[in-house]
Amino acid sequence: TMAVQIGSKAPDFNVNDENGNLVSLSGFKGKKVVLFFYPKDMTPGCTAEACDLRDNYKTLLKQGYEVVGVSTDNEKSHQKFIEKEKLPFRLLADVDKKLHAAYGTWVEKSMYGRTYMGTARKTFIINESGIIEEIIEKVDTKNHASQILNPAGQATATKVPSKKKAVKKIPAKPAAKKAPKKTRRK
């Protein structure tokens, strides 16, 4: 299979969400989609990741993103996960791994020297025209939303051990631009 890469068309899909509704990528035309693959409902890393996306969901929506999670768990498991963590977005039940196959996220993993097949924790950012804009291979589960919203800041943060550069970027300009909008909205 061809590897899905940045700049290529995102494979379309038809997969049930937690309520058994068919969700397809083409249904999101005109929106940016954050398609995040995660290994398992209710596990610590996945919970941290989902909750971070939940806590920043309004910001993501404001920036035009639609958030959709994918794992191989079934609908019932997804319902429990959503209920338990009050998740505001849909989770796709890719039980037959069609979506995993299309995006190359069903991979060999190893744990304690044992190899097994599992979901690669990866996030695909798909633009309004269905093209893959970014692939986040190293998901920082507790700060995943900022990886999506601020990719440039992330890159420098990982490369530069001293935090000085990252801090300098934050003040004045972006805050000034965004603040008035927020107060008006409320």
Q: Is 71 exposed, middle or buried (0-12, 13-18, 19+ CB in 10 A)?
A: buried
Q: What is the pLDDT of residues 116-143, one digit of tens each?
A: 999 999 999 999 999 999 999 999 988 9
Res. 184 pLDDT band, cuts 50 70 90: very low
Whether 51 is catalytic: no
Res. 152 pLDDT band, cuts 50 70 90: low
- d(C-alpha 62, C-alpha 44), whole Å: 28
Supply φ then ψ for residue 143, to 5 degrees.
Answer: -130, 35
Closest CA to 32 of 102, 133, 152, 100: 133
Asked if residue 38 lies in contact with residue 121, where contact means CB atoms within 8 angstroms, the answer is yes
User: In the predicted model, is pLDDT for residue 97 greater than 80?
Assistant: yes
Of the candidates 34, 46, 50, 53, the residue annotated as catalytic is 46
In this predicted structure, what is the pLDDT of residue 37? Answer: 96
